[in-house]
Amino acid sequence: MYSVEELCRLICNKIYSSTREGYGIFYEDEFLDILPEENRTRETLEAALKQLVNGGYIEVKYAKGNAFCILGLNNYEEPKEVLPPVAVESAPKPHKKFLAWIFAAAFAGGALGGIVTGLIFYAV
């Protein structure tokens, strides 16, 4: 017996291979033909379609008799194992005193350059 997730994947693959844009009309027999023989029941099909709707994978516009009008929204992906986050070492942050020295040196260099430029223009 197949799990509901496997049946959802089979049905979602059928929907996406048949419609690229917009809604598509599907008949019950089309879906039942792709399901494994032991799962070929209307109840199994409806349960899988309901799970796909609830998961945001498809939108069913209408279901009349054995016909379904379905829009594929997202590709179906089976739940994956969540891996723990990897620790990333950050670069050491410079100390505030170091940053103050850099600022003071830049300010002094700018002031000295301004004074030298002023003396050159004054002398000319």
Q: What range defines the domain where residue 101 resides?
A: 94-124
**Percent of all residues in the chain with a pLDDT value above 90, rounded to a whole number:** 7
Checking if the pLDDT of 68 tops 80, the result is yes
Looking at every residue in the chain, the average pLDDT score rounds to 81
Alpha-carbon distances, residue 23 vs 19, 53, 59, 70 (angstroms): 7, 14, 9, 5
Residues 65 and 8 in one domain: yes
Q: Is residue 118 part of a domain?
A: yes
Please, which pLDDT band fits residue 86 given cuts at 50, 70 and 90? low
Checking if the pLDDT of 62 tops 70, the result is yes
**Residue 107 structure tokens:** 């300010």
pLDDT tens-digit map of 15-38 = 887 776 788 899 999 988 888 888
Cα Dmax for the chain: 101
Give how many domains the chain has, as a whole number.
Answer: 2
What's at 83, amino acid-wise? L
Residues 39 and 98 in one domain: no
- The CATH number of the domain holding residue 48 is 1.10.10.10
Q: What pLDDT, on a 0 to 100 scale, did the predictor assign at position 67?
A: 92
Cα(68)–Cα(65) distance, integer angstroms: 8
Residues 68 and 98 in one domain: no
Q: Is residue 31 part of a domain?
A: yes
CA-angle at 100, arms to 97 and 101, nearest 5°: 90
pLDDT tens-digit map of 94-114 = 677 887 888 889 989 999 988
Residues 42 and 102 in one domain: no
Q: Is residue 83 part of a domain?
A: no
pTM of the model: 0.56
Q: Is residue 84 part of a domain?
A: no
